[in-house]
Amino acid sequence: MANSDSSTNPSHVHDDDPSRRDVILIGAGAFAAIGGAAALWPLVDQMNPDASTLSLASTDVDLAPIEEGQAITVMWRGKPIFIRHRTAKEVEEAKEVKLDDLVDPLARNANLPDDAPATDANRAAADKEPWLVMIGICTHLGCIPKGQAIGDYKGEFGGWFCPCHGSQYDTSGRIRKGPAPENLYIPPYAFTSDTKIKIG
């Protein structure tokens, strides 16, 4: 007589295998994902800025030693920052320029809305118009314009001249002649006292 016990029936021997297999597959997949992420982390982490770059996230500058008519260059995030203590004549010349005469009508000032017009008031330091703080990189091909050092040729407009392709900027750092498409950019900065600024 045949045994009717279902435990010996081959079709019921491994009824619970699919659920055990699912647990094993999920566990193996999770282990592989964690291992893959751990292996990739050094590659992702090395793309973060190094400590020396992060330490330059902001730069404090003392303006007291800069006399009227002088300019200095400081570094911020690996970029040259031009700071000029403009003369009254330079300020007046910059104010007299009509917006219609400008190649780029926008201020390019990180401290103002993107659509702010390129008036001298929107380019110079607020309430301290003799001071001009700009990123000293030509907007054409990334050269460093001349005009900071005494004796530098400042171009036809008395500001900065890029010798690579002849871009000329006025005393407010606005492009006036040459292939550069945009004004020199103004970085984020603020006066922390009458004679000190923090860039960044």
What residues are annotated to the active site?
165
Angle 133-58-79 from CA coordinates, rounded to 5°: 55
- Terminal Cα distance for the chain, rounded: 92
- Kindly give, in sequence order, each residue whose CB lies less than 8 Å from that of residue 27, ignoring residues fewer than 6 positions away: none
Tell me phi and psi for residue 37, to 5 degrees. -65, -40
Amino acid present at 184: L
Q: In what order do the strands lie in the sheet containing 59-62? A: 59-62, 196-199, 189-193
Contact 182/193 with Cβ under 8 angstroms?
no
Neighbours of 118 (CB within 10 A): 23
Distance separating alpha carbons of residues 155 and 48, to the nearest angstrom? 39
